[in-house]
Amino acid sequence: MEAFERNIRKVEPYVPGEQPRQRVVKLNTNENPYPPAPGVERALKELDTADFRLYPDPACSVLVDAIADFYKVGRDQVFVGVGSDDVLSLCFLTFFNSDKPILFPDITYSFYKVWAQLYRIPYECKRVDEQFRIVREDYYGENGGVIFPNPNAPTALYEDLELVEDILRHNRDVIVIVDEAYIDYAGPSAVELVDRYDNLIVTQTFSKSRSMAGMRIGYAIANPKLIRYLNDVKYSFNSYTLNRASLVCGAEAVKDRAYFEETVEKIKATRERAMERLGSLGFSCTRSSANFLFATHPDCDARELFEALKREGIYVRWWDSERIRQYMRITVGTDEEMEKLFAFLEQYLSKGE
């Protein structure tokens, strides 16, 4: 090792899902198969590119206001960032500064471990039970903060707000982050708890239910004090985060509640049909409350199937990770895309017999 390398911050980076250039049946990164609300296209056409020479609004006001209106919270309760990955990363930096370990589930969004390592935050992973459920008592002990997704990823399981509130009640002295990237496909959001728990931060994203992964928009909702702390760190790091196009397109997307609800319902309907169909092919899936399915088959090796699917131009996600090696995560696409998947699976399984 060269001497200077000793002073380099080394990390084992997060590995994002593949973004192939060729057209494939893309069921690997939980994007929405439907386009964003029609107002987004109009807003984009109306953008004056001459304004691109000017920095965007560092306070992101049009977008913050639109989100605050939608969720009926104060504008001082909303923070926006470049996707929820950016928001979550800033939350780690801002709120997890204890010598005690932060806690998160062992099977969860793999970025948490990466941020903890990057920022040198001690952490402990708590084992989810055999059904992949979060064990609430594991979060009762002393710690430096708590984070978990609800629904969890990649298990797709939603925990009732009663469990979320119980964890909050047992952790009044630290910050609890609930990562709700997939909440719109599940049950009630923890946003309704924000006014009662001043240690709660809820993060959400435009990448899934609002069909805008490519625009990179995420946000946090919390009490005004925590939002101020987040903004202080943001302004000390990178003040101009969201670009002009994302700001106006994001604001348009939130305004169209009817389109949003219709798209969410379409995905949920396809999800239910897909779960049934996978069941009839011998797969078992967890009870999905997200826009993806977490599936395993007793007779096929998940890695081999994942690779066979890829050769066929059908991309899903698989992790070489201890407890979930025999599972694949399949994003809910359009009905047509799911048909292509099922047609291949039928053929693959019949060959195996």
By CB under 6 A, which span of 40-48, 82-90, 239-247, 337-345 interacts with ligand PMP?
A: 82-90
Query: d(Cα 332, Cα 288) in Å, to the nearest integer?
Result: 10
Is residue 71 at the binding interface for ligand PMP, with CB under 6 A as the rule? no
Q: Which of 84, 189, 296, 331 binds ligand PMP (CB under 6 A)?
A: 84
Q: How many CB atoms lie within 10 A of CB 23?
A: 7
**Cis peptide before 151, with omega less than 30 degrees from 0?**
yes
By CB under 6 A, which span of 37-45, 81-89, 165-173, 274-282 interacts with ligand PMP?
A: 81-89
Q: Which of 171, 205, 209, 331 binds ligand PMP (CB under 6 A)?
A: 205
The 8-class DSSP code of residue 200 comes to E
Q: Among candidates 83, 18, 89, 15, which has minimal Cα distance to 331? A: 18
# chain residues binding ligand PMP, by CB under 6 A? 12
Residue of minimal Cβ distance to ligand PMP? 83
Q: Among candidates 107, 102, 45, 81, which has minimal Cα distance to 249? A: 45
Q: Which of 33, 56, 145, 218 binds ligand PMP (CB under 6 A)?
A: 218
Query: d(Cα 316, Cα 300) in Å, to the nearest integer?
Result: 15
Q: Which of 63, 176, 181, 332 binds ligand PMP (CB under 6 A)?
A: 181
Binding pattern for the stretch 125-154 against ligand PMP, x by CB under 6 A and - elsewhere: ------------------------x---x-
Query: d(Cα 68, Cα 290) in Å, to the nearest integer?
Result: 24
Name residues whose C-beta falls within 8 Å of residue 317's C-beta, 6 or more positions apart in sequence.
17, 28, 29, 154, 306, 328, 329, 330, 331
Q: Which of 213, 267, 274, 285 binds ligand PMP (CB under 6 A)?
A: 213
Q: Which of 138, 159, 179, 337 binds ligand PMP (CB under 6 A)?
A: 179
Instruction: Tell me how far, at minimum, the Cβ of 2 lies from ligand PMP, in Å.
Output: 34
Query: d(Cα 166, Cα 157) in Å, to the nearest integer?
Result: 17
SS3 of the chain: helix, strand, coil, percent, to 5: 45, 15, 40
By CB under 6 A, which span of 77-85, 132-140, 157-165, 319-327 interacts with ligand PMP?
A: 77-85
Q: Which of 143, 150, 207, 270 binds ligand PMP (CB under 6 A)?
A: 207
Is residue 102 at the binding interface for ligand PMP, with CB under 6 A as the rule? no
Query: d(Cα 246, Cα 230) in Å, to the nearest integer?
Result: 20
Query: d(Cα 183, Cα 209) in Å, to the nearest integer?
Result: 9
Q: Which of 85, 138, 159, 252 binds ligand PMP (CB under 6 A)?
A: 85
What number of CA atoms fall less than 13 Å from residue 103's CA on the CB side? 23
Instruction: Tell me how far, at minimum, the Cβ of 12 lies from ligand PMP, in Å.
Output: 17
Instruction: Tell me how far, at minimum, the Cβ of 205 lies from ligand PMP, in Å.
Output: 3
List contacts with ligand PMP (CB under 6 A): 83-85, 109, 149, 153, 179, 181, 205, 207, 213, 218
